[in-house]
Structure 1
Amino acid sequence: MRPAARLRAGTLAGTVAAMTVLAPPVAAHADPEPSTKELQTQAHKLADQLEQLTEQYNGLKVKLQQSQRAAKVATDNAARQEKALQGVREKLGSLAATSYMQGGATDPTVSFVAAQDPQAMLDQAATLRYFATQDGTRVASMMQAMQAAQRARKSADERSQQVEKLRGQLDSQRKKVTTLYEKVRGKLVKRDPTQLAKLPVVGSGKAAQALRLAMTKIGRPYVWGAEGPSTFDCSGLIMWAYKQVGISLPHYTGSQWNAGTHISKSQMQPGDLIFFYSDLHHVGLYVGDGKMLHAPQTGDVVKIAPIAGRPFAGAVRVA
């Protein structure tokens, strides 16, 4: 691996090593339970760390795609050079045979192309001097280009493997932090359900962004047929939130049901759409911890509520 590649690899490895999982302090049996404020502080720190890990994970995905593209280009280049060299090899093979039968001295160009290890011959000073003064330079250049392409391909493959390994490590850390965050948030919500609206929304995708924006509308009145920005019905809230992040959804639960990928209850993430009743006449945004954000009904307001209590019909991931 080239020094620059090693440097980049070291930087990435160092970044992963530097990200330590922030666990809540383990209290002794005699210690009091952490206060609400302490739990809030832990939750915010964990959410911030999770956001850092998520963005690093996203960055490594980009680097992996770049490495894979570089490997493909180098592989294609090596294949073209190998094909061209093979044609020269076949032409000079007959020359080598004729030279041998006539008992003459072997042309260094023929020896080079026919050799089992052409690089070993290329490294010999005598061979290089010969190529410097003969037409065989074309063959040597071709061989060097092919070898350079092969080295580039090997370097890109190694880079891809390294990035994939680091991505796996980051994903493992991200899952650990998510689990810790959910535990802390669960304690807070159990103690005071209103705390859920005050906690960070975990995630960096458009669905999480839509949920963050929708949560700014907590307390706004439900109005039939309304789609914001001050009043909403259930599908109008969903449409408004996703529109703010550049995703256009229809103002109708039946169409929103078909606007993305259907997922199971266990796969739900913050910002996913949750549908209820067999005719899909109600929809909300998943918040986490068994809760959703929704505009319930006439006379009520946008709020966070438990998913349980309504007949769950399914979930959809739009982004």
Structure 2
Amino acid sequence: MAAHRKPRHPSAGGGRARKAATLALALAGAATATAFDGTAHAAPELTPAQVKAKVDQLYQEAEAATERYNGAKEQSEKAQDRLAVLQDEAARKEERLNSEREALGTVAAAQYRSGGLDPALQLVLSDDPDAYLDGAALAERAGDRQSATVTRVRKQLGEIERLRGAARVELDSLTTRQAELKRHSTTITDKLDTARDLLTQLTAEERARLTDPGAAPTTVTVAAPNARAAAAVSYARQKLGSPYVWGATGPDAFDCSGLIQAAYGSAGVALPRTTYAQIDTGQRVSRTELRPGDLVFFYSGISHVGLYIGDGQMIHAPNPSSPVRVAPIDQMPFAGATRVV
């Protein structure tokens, strides 16, 4: 029978050491678990002022992406138009080509029945235009009447191939622009979603103060210098309160450059779609020379534009949290101005 031994009692110092080791292991385990399961200490809560700063930055970045989106969309539409023109022209030439080939086919059938087919006709009636063009010198062997037809077909084949080549270039351009549109759209959506999430951290009262700090008076009545500028300002006034929607050009919603384009469009003036193109339209003017109807631009990247109405005020489409409104031009970093002439 085994002897029973009296258990040894650990010393106080040893117990403390083991407790310390156990605590250290527990903390290490918790840290490891945090690293692997993705949990972490909650980020410090932002103050309303910090939320506003972050949201303003996100809106500015989204607006810059919006202008790039607008530019890519404009180029995409132009590429689509050019491609359609090329395809239509190619189709018309192919119709004429088919008529010529049918006529030559009649001649070829007669030649075949009489004992042979002219080499030039063989080439013209071939399904391989390149082979025809490579051997087009043989067309000189055809008779006078056939030669004139063969020459026309030869020219038509060359034109069709040129049109097809140009169409391939436009299709490549269109594909590139569409990829840009998708990329910019994703950027805009992500930034606006982030801004919206930040704003939900605030109370309704705090959001109201941040997103609607108080519109400037709308009673500015400085006379515009000409009828077109007056018409543009009048249009913008009628759109006060309209929602901001990125990529929109009216008549019920706008982004910043879309509002400007629509305002001057109502006056019969065709402006470019983007802020960075609009600033190069017309005559540059200094801030001290501003008159109603001038376009005022903001930020170093020329990512925002408003319509000056006098007394240091403008009408603009700010961002998704604010509708079209009157605001002071010193509300944002001034980048330049241009006068539509």
Give the TM-score normalised by the residue count of structure 2. Answer: 0.49
Asked if the contact 2:76–2:177 (Cα under 8 Å) also holds between the matched residues in 1, the reply is: yes
Asked if the contact 2:239–2:324 (Cα under 8 Å) also holds between the matched residues in 1, the reply is: no
Q: Which residue of 1 aligns with 2:190?
A: 176
Asked if the contact 1:215–1:293 (Cα under 8 Å) also holds between the matched residues in 2, the reply is: no
Partner Cα separation in structure 2 for residue 146 and residue 181 of structure 1: 52
Partner Cα separation in structure 1 for residue 40 and residue 205 of structure 2: 21
Q: Which residue of 2 aligns with 1:122?
A: 133
Q: Which residue of 2 aligns with 1:12?
A: none
Match of 2:238 among 225, 230, 249: 249
Q: Which residue of 2 aligns with 1:167?
A: 181
Deviations 1:77-96 (A, max 9, x none): 11221122112111111221
1:131 to partner: Cα distance: 4.5
Structure 1 pair 31–175 and aligned structure 2 pair: CA distance change class (3 A):
closer
Q: Does 1:90 align with 2:79?
A: no
Q: Which residue of 1 aligns with 2:154?
A: 140
Partner Cα separation in structure 1 for residue 114 and residue 210 of structure 2: 94
Structure 1 pair 91–269 and aligned structure 2 pair: CA distance change class (3 A):
closer
Q: Name which one, 1 or 2, has greater alpha-carbon Rg.
A: 2
1:68 to partner: Cα distance: 1.2
Asked if the contact 1:188–1:195 (Cα under 8 Å) also holds between the matched residues in 2, the reply is: no
**Structure 1: runs of 5 or more not aligned:** 1-25, 199-213, 218-226, 231-241, 252-259, 273-284, 295-319
Structure 1 pair 243–189 and aligned structure 2 pair: CA distance change class (3 A):
farther
Q: Report the RMSD for the aligned CA atoms in angstroms.
A: 4.2
Structure 1 pair 56–29 and aligned structure 2 pair: CA distance change class (3 A):
same
Q: Does 1:67 align with 2:86?
A: no
Partner Cα separation in structure 1 for residue 108 and residue 132 of structure 2: 16
Q: Which residue of 2 aligns with 1:81?
A: 93
Structure 2 residue identity aligned to 1:122: L
Q: Which moved more, 1:154-163 or 1:80-89?
A: 154-163
Q: Which residue of 1 aligns with 2:123?
A: 112
Q: Which residue of 2 aligns with 1:6?
A: none
Partner Cα separation in structure 1 for residue 204 and residue 44 of structure 2: 17
Partner Cα separation in structure 2 for residue 27 and residue 293 of structure 1: 42
Partner of 1:187, secondary structure, is coil
Match of 1:196 among 211, 233, 245: 211
Q: Which residue of 2 aligns with 1:228?
A: 219
Q: Which residue of 2 aligns with 1:202?
A: none
Asked if the contact 2:65–2:184 (Cα under 8 Å) also holds between the matched residues in 1, the reply is: yes
Deviations 1:270-305 (A, max 9, x none): 9x9xxxxxxxxxxxx99866x8899xxxxxxxxxxx
Deviations 1:57-107 (A, max 9, x none): 111111111111111110121122112211211111122112222223x32
Partner of 2:157, secondary structure, is helix
Asked if the contact 2:79–2:170 (Cα under 8 Å) also holds between the matched residues in 1, the reply is: yes
Deviations 1:213-247 (A, max 9, x none): x8223xxxxxxxxx6139xxxxxxxxxxx974734
1:37 to partner: Cα distance: 4.4
Q: Which residue of 2 aligns with 1:216?
A: 216
Please list, as runs of the form range in 1=range in 2, the aligned pairs for 1:276-291 lying within 5 A after superposition: none
Asked if the contact 2:55–2:198 (Cα under 8 Å) also holds between the matched residues in 1, the reply is: yes
Structure 1 pair 169–250 and aligned structure 2 pair: CA distance change class (3 A):
closer
1:262 to partner: Cα distance: 7.8
Partner Cα separation in structure 2 for residue 39 and residue 159 of structure 1: 40
Asked if the contact 2:73–2:181 (Cα under 8 Å) also holds between the matched residues in 1, the reply is: yes
Structure 1 residue identity aligned to 2:185: D
Q: Which residue of 2 aligns with 1:280?
A: none
Identity percentage of aligned residues: 22
Paired residues, number: 206
Asked if the contact 1:185–1:196 (Cα under 8 Å) also holds between the matched residues in 2, the reply is: no
Q: Which residue of 1 aligns with 2:302?
A: none
Q: Does 1:99 align with 2:99?
A: no
Partner Cα separation in structure 2 for residue 178 and residue 250 of structure 1: 23
Deviations 1:157-180 (A, max 9, x none): 343344233313322221111111
Partner Cα separation in structure 2 for residue 44 and residue 246 of structure 1: 27
Partner Cα separation in structure 2 for residue 148 and residue 109 of structure 1: 22
Structure 2 residue identity aligned to 1:175: T
Partner of 1:153, secondary structure, is helix
